[in-house]
Amino acid sequence: MALKRISLASAGPNAHAQSGANWDRPAIQSLVRDLQEVAGDLGLKDRHIRVLTALASFVREFTSDNRPVVFASNEALSKRAAGMPVPTLQRTLRQLCGLDLVERNLSPNGKRYPHRGANGAIVEAFGIDLSPLLRQANEIRSLAVHAEERKGRIRLIRDRLSLLRNRLPKEGEAQATIRALLRTRHRCPSELEAAYQNLSDLAEASSSPAVAVQERPEFTPAIHLELDMDALPQKYAAPAHVPSPAIAGPANTEELTPNAHQIDTHHQSSKPRIFESEEAQKIGEETCTSSDDCNMQDVTAAELADTCPEAIQYALGKPKSWRDFHNLALSLAPMVGIGEQLARRAHEKLGVQGFTMTVLCLVQKFGVIRNPAAYLTRLLMPNGQDYSPVRFLRSIAARQAAAAA
C-alpha cells in the first residue's frame, strides 16, 4: 500500500501555536499510539511508528512558540528505535517529512541544538520538529475511533460466522466458504456482513428437524437409568458369551522355550493381543477357563466395589446397585479420555454391565494403561481379541490378592 499524506483542512498556519500549550510528552506518546492503530490504512510501516515513538520519548520541553523539537542524535534515536540501523533511520525520517508528520529545522552545521534566552527558555531550536504531527491530532484520533469501531464490527461478524457453522452441514460449499472467510484478514466489515447474511439465509433454508438429528446426534445413554436393568433395550443388553471356535493345529507342535520370544522368528497366534503398556500385556495373558468364569451375571456389586477402589472413591455416595455403578462409569469415562462416540460403541457391544465394568477397571488401572481410550478402541474392533469384561475385572482382583499375600 502506498504511503498517504495526512491533511487537516481545518488547520491553519498557526495551529501548532494554539494547540502546543496543551501538549506534553505523555500526550504526544498517546497520539503516536493512536496513529499506530490506523497505520495500515495510511500505508505506514512498523519502522515509521518506531521512529515516531523514539522521537516522542525525547520530548523534554517546548520552544517559546510551543513547538516540540527533538535534539537527539541519530545514534541516540537508533537505540530508542530498538537498534534500527542509522541509514534506515535517516531514510525513515525523510519519509516522515514527506508525509508532513515531522519537520527538519537544519542548523548551519547540520547538528541539532537549541538557542536559549536569558531566562533559560528555548528561543530557537534546530532539530526534528513534531508540530506537524500535533496539528493533525484531531484527524488522527477520529481515524483511530473509526478503526476501533470497524474492528469491533469485524470481530462480531467473525464470531457469528463461527456459530453459524454449527447450523450448516459439516461438509459442503457453505462450510468451505466460512473457513475461507475466517482465514482471511478483512478491513471492510460490510463484505463480511453481506457474506454472513447470505450464509444465514442458506442455514435457515436448509435447517430441518431431520437434518438436525442426523448432523448432531446426542449421546444420552443416561436416560436408561430410570428403567430397571431387565427392562433395558436389547442393544444395551449384555451379550451372551460365545466361545471362540477351536482352530486345529499341526499334530506335532514344537514346544517353545521360555526364551523363544527373543528369537527372530514369526509366531502367529489365533488370538491377537493388545499391548498398550507393560501391565496391559499381562492383562491380555489372562484367559477364561470356562464360560462360567466370563458370565457377567455372576459378578456382584460388592465384588466390583472391592476390585475397583480407585474408581469408587470418585462416587458421591457408596454405590449400592448396578444403576449407581453405571452412573459412576458415565461420569468417569470422559476423565480417562473416553468420548461420547466411543462410549456409545462400548454400550452397543458390551452392554451396560460390560461398559460399567470396563470403565471402572480402566480407572483402576489408570497410569498403568497409558491410553485408556486407545485400549478400549482396540478391544471393540471387529477383528480384535476375545475380550471379556469379567476376565478383565477378575485378573485385577487376582493380582491384588497376590500382592496382598
Tell me, what's the pLDDT at 78? 92
CB 331: neighbour CB atoms within 10 A? 14
Integer CA distances (angstroms), 328 to 337, 356, 382, 396, in order = 15, 8, 27, 19
Query: Which stretches within 309-388 are classed as H helix?
Result: 309-312, 322-332, 340-364, 372-379
Tell me, what's the pLDDT at 84? 92
Tell me, what's the pLDDT at 211? 39
Tell me, what's the pLDDT at 282? 45
d(CA 382, CA 368): 25
pLDDT tens-digit map of 194-237: 888 888 877 777 664 443 434 444 444 443 434 344 544 444 44
d(CA 376, CA 56): 64
Tell me, what's the pLDDT at 206? 67
Tell me, what's the pLDDT at 178? 81
Residues of the chain with pLDDT under 70: 1-21, 206-294, 383-385
Tell me, what's the pLDDT at 245? 44
pLDDT tens-digit map of 339-369: 888 888 888 888 888 999 999 999 988 878 8
91 φ/ψ angles, rounded to the nearest 5 degrees: -65, -35
d(CA 373, CA 353): 18
d(CA 307, CA 386): 22
Model confidence, pTM = 0.43
Q: Which structural domains are found in the chain, ordered by start?
A: 15-135 (1.10.10.10), 141-214 (no CATH), 223-239+272-404 (no CATH)
